[in-house]
Structure 1
């Protein structure tokens, strides 16, 4: 660089212009070097990065590489332009404005890169780990919160670069968050419970659950409440915080098979073995009843006026339990009648004794 200046005439070598020309030449070299680096990065991504991503089983890295390659090369060029302009002997205001503008551009590009990487990670988590319901309900909200976090972080870094006091901003954000949290305490509790329900997944949409005396099918799991359609075709809208703090029964878990039970009493003089055989045979003849596990009948206890038997059977879908129970009851009643098995009525014997001590004497 000094060799180029050697050929200038002595009267043309004004120190100021000589210094300015030297700095401009260095800035041009910096821009050229960073431009070559961006091209080198493009070649590395196209050849090496693509091959490495193709060797993995997942396509997550392929999508991330595709989305960040363009902004990454732009970031390298803008970084070189920022360094080149920052070292030029410009006027104070012009230099500060130019370098500040390029700094903001670089921070914006970095924020875009971070957002794209985070977006792909959230999509992959929602699709492969959390499930479709979480992707539909939670992921848009999580993506918005992450976007707000990235924007606020970029804003704080930018303000810090221009020597602005960010303590007041952080304090204002903290006070505002506290005020919002106190004002929407119940809503936030339901939202946190909604996150818990969707991630922990004690039940899913379509499952039949029992909550206390209420039984119904889950229609929708929202961030604030869960909608349940009861068996009488009414809708229950239950806050998520109440569901998280209650004990419930999921009839569709771990699978949709349902188990039914039928209780019947026979007379003490009846053949118990024959009665159990008839009950099992009646259940097997019903199409809805599964052959495996096979129906089973047991003598449960000795009642006051009858021997109490119970029949246990399985159906392929828990929604078929009631219909199968009706058919089995009808078949058992007919089979008992044909084979002389009686179903006694409850009986009670009352013995009335005459009180001879207080009887009137003749």
Structure 2
């Protein structure tokens, strides 16, 4: 930018020099030079004013020297005005933001510095060019460019506002422990795309093109584009359904059908990414998730344990009754077992064992702590069975033969 102003000033200096002194020096005679030496200060001043007046009357493509001078002056003033406006904006609004406890204005002020500076540039350039004498066609073109530029800067500012609002909403949702903050990036992307589409339509409209006519004139190409975008629209509405229903959030362990089983890593406009237990990354279109049954294991308040303990048939009724009470007691005393519901009963005579149903919940839903609790409880059950003089049964079969073994006879 400094090089531009240096070149502009040099060109302006050369232009003034050649205009003021080029023709005069060629036309000057020795007699005139002698007369000029005797001129008084007032005469020199009058002559300078007259030459400056001639300079401003010079016509360059319909633009006088005065027009060009004020054009460059306003152009230079635009850069100065931008620094002044941005400086006042930052200082004044920063002081006002310090008096509030809301984080939104603290983040919005620096975010809007760029759009405000760009708007000063747009207005300054338009005013500078307005001084020049241009053709009617160029006037229309410049006016449309000014309107499109103004619209672009305004939507740029709106995009900045959306970004700041999303950032503040994420912080507030995390502070209040709302699960909705996982969907805020998706909402932000949707809002940005909507604003960009509206901005493009309005800018094209301000440039003098009819958007309706363009869409209507697409004909078969528009139909092909609509068919190609059908899947994208289906995934987009699937994303809207996920945001509205919130069946899961980032970090949840979900299971969809027999193929999808893992933790949610990202929820996008088109698809959702799930990290499976084998550490592979699975990408599922949102339209599929919107139409499938989703099992969210992370939403369990507590994790269930249901199992059968089989003891051998040599266990006496008294020992069986005491064993059931021992298992109930050890479950109530374990700190990892949820005490809301515990069920231990001798339920069945199995094929090779007496079956005891053990039904309880662990307080944690995390997989590894849950497995540690189950292991601890199972070891305590084994010790309780051994203490009652019984043992864990394994599949066995006893064969009873009536009448004894048959006598085998043969010829000697």
Q: Tell me if TM exceeds 0.5.
A: yes
What is the rounded CA distance, in whole Å, between the counterparts of 1:270 and 1:210 in structure 2? 45
> Structure 1 residues 127, 197: closer, same or farther in 2, change over 3 A?
farther
> Structure 1 residues 191, 319: closer, same or farther in 2, change over 3 A?
farther
Structure 1, unaligned stretches of length 5 or more? 1-19, 349-362
3-state SS of paired residue (2:248): coil
> Structure 1 residues 290, 201: closer, same or farther in 2, change over 3 A?
farther
The TM-score normalised by the length of structure 2 is 0.56
What is the CA-CA distance between 1:312 and the residue it aligns to?
1.1
Q: Is contact 1:295–1:311 with CA below 8 Å preserved after alignment?
A: no
What is the rounded CA distance, in whole Å, between the counterparts of 1:96 and 1:62 in structure 2? 41
1:193 and 2:193 correspond: no
> Structure 1 residues 173, 45: closer, same or farther in 2, change over 3 A?
farther
> Structure 1 residues 177, 125: closer, same or farther in 2, change over 3 A?
farther
What is the CA-CA distance between 1:319 and the residue it aligns to?
3.3
What is the rounded CA distance, in whole Å, between the counterparts of 1:143 and 1:107 in structure 2? 15
What is the rounded CA distance, in whole Å, between the counterparts of 2:279 and 2:86 in structure 1? 61
3-state SS of paired residue (1:252): helix
Q: Is contact 2:337–2:360 with CA below 8 Å preserved after alignment?
A: no
> Structure 1 residues 62, 264: closer, same or farther in 2, change over 3 A?
same
Aligned to 1:260: 305
More divergent stretch after superposition (276-285 vs 169-178): 169-178
What is the CA-CA distance between 1:279 and the residue it aligns to?
1.3
> Structure 1 residues 124, 234: closer, same or farther in 2, change over 3 A?
closer
Aligned to 2:387: 338
Aligned to 1:147: 196
Aligned to 1:180: 225
Q: Is contact 1:265–1:307 with CA below 8 Å preserved after alignment?
A: yes
What is the CA-CA distance between 1:96 and the residue it aligns to?
3.7
> Structure 1 residues 174, 83: closer, same or farther in 2, change over 3 A?
farther
- Note the alpha carbon deviations across 1:55-97, whole angstroms, 9 max, x for none: 3333332333333345435535744764686588754345445
> Structure 1 residues 173, 52: closer, same or farther in 2, change over 3 A?
farther
The TM-score normalised by the length of structure 1 is 0.62
- Note the alpha carbon deviations across 1:308-347, whole angstroms, 9 max, x for none: 4324141532334345434433432331232146778999
Aligned to 2:289: 243
1:229 and 2:273 correspond: no
- Larger-Rg structure: 2
In the TM superposition, 1:130-145 aligns within 5 A as: 130-131=180-181, 135=185, 139=188, 143-144=192-193
> Structure 1 residues 208, 319: closer, same or farther in 2, change over 3 A?
farther
What is the rounded CA distance, in whole Å, between the counterparts of 1:61 and 1:125 in structure 2? 13
1:72 and 2:119 correspond: no
Q: Is contact 1:85–1:95 with CA below 8 Å preserved after alignment?
A: no
